């Protein structure tokens, strides 16, 4: 008894799930293959009506087959209607034949095209329409049962023939949905990557612009030369920002396969991050170990992580005089450590991690590495990342 109740609940659950399935969005109205298929159906039906000697109600069966075949052109936009009309027409003719002709079957072999319409219902229609189609198929199968003289092989064969296109439609439907989800996930991942690149490349220069602009304003009245020097740094940083933005936007716009892309900055370019303004903390860069032949994603990620860490230190490290960037390469991993000697800010005061820290953590995780950021044991803030030397692009 309990097993029966459980089975009943399972069936009800599957049925409710099926009823909530939405129709496929934006199905194609019709394509050239539909016209070709319709032409083949018309040609086959005409040939059967003329040359098959065993067809009863020859031209009536021909007319039903031809008129119902118009649904081929609407099998995606109105799948249930396109499938039900021929099913009803053929089965009315079949029942009439059973009554009038003493069990003789009526119809053309060409009528098998309705299996394509069954496939279309389960490929494109919503869940409620699928349930209606299942009911119609069950009725058709029952009528076929009586016309098959209760031969078990014919009965089972008819069920398999009816269910095969339905299962095929569901399988292809699920495969396309999975493919669409994979594409959406890839696009989302690509958008996140572009957002990180924009943030990491632009934030460094914009931060320098903001710091130098503030310094220039502070000394403009008493030290015009220092203010001019600050403005020169602002101009240089703005030019670099604009150049990087143009490079990235150009790469995004150009979808040709032979588009020239500027090589991404890597570990060897970290040294130029030490060229900061005179009143900014001194940036010292130390490169140790084997840093040759790193995979491009790791090479670019190390530069971006160092760049963002220096930017954060310039913005947030209080009374810092030095920022140390150290990169150590071994046979398996590359380790990056960025530390400053500013005043330690408690996590409560510092607040939740910003987008920069989250972006750095995500970047390291995507490459199979580890990331940590937090206050040092004595002074300052420490950012550490450990990445594998080789990852796929």
- Write the CATH number for 343: 3.30.565.10
pLDDT tops 90 at residue 3 = no
d(CA 215, CA 391): 42
**Mean pLDDT in residue range 168-187:** 87
pLDDT number for residue 275: 61
pLDDT tops 90 at residue 203 = no
Does a structural domain hold residue 249?
no
pLDDT number for residue 23: 78
Locate the DSSP E strands across the chain.
Answer: 282-289, 322-329, 333-340, 370-375, 381-388
d(CA 130, CA 24): 12
pLDDT tops 90 at residue 15 = no
d(CA 141, CA 166): 14
**Mean pLDDT in residue range 117-122:** 92
pLDDT tops 50 at residue 279 = yes
Does a structural domain hold residue 259?
no
**Mean pLDDT in residue range 254-279:** 66
pLDDT number for residue 350: 46
d(CA 284, CA 322): 7
d(CA 356, CA 352): 11
Predicted confidence band at 271 (pLDDT cuts at 50, 70, 90)?
confident
Of the three residues 120, 147, 174, the one that is the final residue of a domain is 147
Higher pLDDT, 348 or 272: 272
Q: Give the range of the structural domain holding residue 40, as residue numbers without chain letter.
A: 2-147
Does a structural domain hold residue 307?
yes
d(CA 6, CA 321): 71
pLDDT number for residue 84: 92
Predicted confidence band at 292 (pLDDT cuts at 50, 70, 90)?
confident
Phi, psi of 326 (to 5 degrees): -125, 130
d(CA 144, CA 304): 70
Tens of pLDDT along 139-164? 888 877 766 555 667 678 878 888 99
Higher pLDDT, 229 or 339: 339
Predicted confidence band at 371 (pLDDT cuts at 50, 70, 90)?
very high
Does a structural domain hold residue 8?
yes
Does a structural domain hold residue 49?
yes
Is 349 exposed, middle or buried (CB count within 10 Å of its CB: 0-12, 13-18, 19+)? exposed
Which CA distances in Å does 230 have to 103, 150, 237, 311? Answer: 100, 96, 11, 17
Predicted confidence band at 347 (pLDDT cuts at 50, 70, 90)?
very low
CA angle 70, 76, 80 (to 5 degrees): 75
pLDDT tops 70 at residue 255 = no
d(CA 63, CA 24): 32
Residue 56: CB partners within 8 Å, gap ≥ 6? 97, 101, 104, 106
Does a structural domain hold residue 320?
yes
Residue 44: CB partners within 8 Å, gap ≥ 6? 108, 109, 110
Q: At which residue do the structure tokens 């969005």 appear?
A: 25
pLDDT number for residue 191: 75
Of the three residues 147, 171, 199, the one that is the final residue of a domain is 147
Domains identified in the chain, total number: 2
pLDDT number for residue 257: 47
Q: Which long-range contacts (CB under 8 A, 24 or more apart) does 25-28 make?
A: 27/76, 27/77, 27/124, 28/76
Least confident interval from 249-253, 308-312, 321-325, 333-337: 249-253
Residue ranges of alpha helices (H) inside 114-151 are 114-124, 127-147
Predicted confidence band at 63 (pLDDT cuts at 50, 70, 90)?
confident
Q: What percent of the chain has pLDDT over 90?
A: 16
d(CA 193, CA 186): 10
Residue 372: CB partners within 8 Å, gap ≥ 6? 382, 383, 384, 385
Of the three residues 147, 163, 195, the one that is the final residue of a domain is 147
Predicted confidence band at 230 (pLDDT cuts at 50, 70, 90)?
confident
CA angle 156, 119, 131 (to 5 degrees): 75
Does a structural domain hold residue 114?
yes
Does a structural domain hold residue 334?
yes
pLDDT number for residue 256: 54
pLDDT tops 60 at residue 346 = no
Tens of pLDDT along 100-116? 765 556 678 888 899 99
Parallel/antiparallel/unpaired status of strands 333-340 and 282-289: unpaired
d(CA 226, CA 279): 10
Is 43 exposed, middle or buried (CB count within 10 Å of its CB: 0-12, 13-18, 19+)? exposed
Predicted confidence band at 348 (pLDDT cuts at 50, 70, 90)?
very low
Q: At which residue do the structure tokens 């009526």 appear?
A: 106
d(CA 320, CA 318): 5
Q: What percent of the chain has pLDDT over 70?
A: 77
Least confident interval from 192-196, 249-253, 382-386: 249-253
């Amino acid at each position: 008894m309990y097993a029966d109740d459980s089975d009943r609940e399972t069936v009800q659950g599957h049925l409710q799930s099926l009823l909530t399935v939405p129709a496929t969005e934006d199905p194609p109205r019709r394509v050239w293959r539909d016209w070709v298929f319709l032409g083949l159906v018309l040609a086959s039906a005409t040939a059967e009506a003329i040359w098959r000697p065993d067809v009863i109600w020859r031209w009536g069966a021909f007319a039903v087959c031809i008129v119902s075949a118009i649904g081929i052109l609407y099998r995606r936009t109105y799948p249930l209607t396109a499938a039900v009309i021929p099913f009803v027409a053929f089965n009315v003719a079949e029942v009439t034949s059973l009554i009038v002709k003493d069990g003789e079957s009526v119809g053309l072999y060409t009528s098998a095209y309705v299996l394509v319409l069954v496939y279309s219902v389960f490929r494109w229609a919503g869940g409620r329409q699928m349930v209606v189609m299942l009911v119609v198929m069950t009725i058709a199968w029952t009528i076929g049962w009586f016309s098959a003289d209760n031969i078990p092989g014919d009965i089972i064969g008819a069920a398999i023939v009816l269910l095969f296109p339905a299962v095929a439609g569901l399988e292809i439907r699920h495969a396309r949905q999975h493919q669409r989800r994979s594409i959406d996930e890839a696009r989302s991942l690509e958008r996140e990557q572009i957002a990180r690149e924009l943030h990491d490349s632009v934030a460094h220069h914009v931060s320098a612009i903001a710091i130098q602009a503030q310094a220039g304003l502070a000394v403009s009245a008493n030290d015009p030369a220092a203010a001019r020097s600050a403005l020169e740094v602002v101009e240089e940083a703005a030019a670099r920002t604009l150049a990087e933005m143009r490079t990235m936007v150009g790469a995004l716009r150009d979808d040709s396969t032979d588009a020239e892309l500027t090589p991404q900055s890597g570990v060897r370019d970290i040294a130029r991050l030490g060229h900061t303004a005179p009143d900014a903390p001194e940036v010292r860069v130390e490169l140790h170990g084997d840093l040759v032949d790193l995979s491009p994603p790791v090479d670019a990620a190390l530069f971006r992580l160092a760049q963002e860490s220096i930017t954060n230190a310039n913005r947030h490290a209080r009374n810092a005089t030095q920022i140390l960037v150290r990169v150590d390469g071994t046979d398996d991993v590359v380790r990056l450590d960025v530390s400053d000697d500013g005043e330690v800010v408690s996590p409560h005061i510092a607040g939740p991690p910003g987008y920069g820290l989250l972006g750095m953590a995500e970047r390291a995780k995507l490459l199979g590495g580890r990331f940590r950021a937090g206050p040092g044991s004595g002074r300052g803030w420490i950012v550490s990342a450990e990445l594998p030397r080789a990852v796929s692009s």
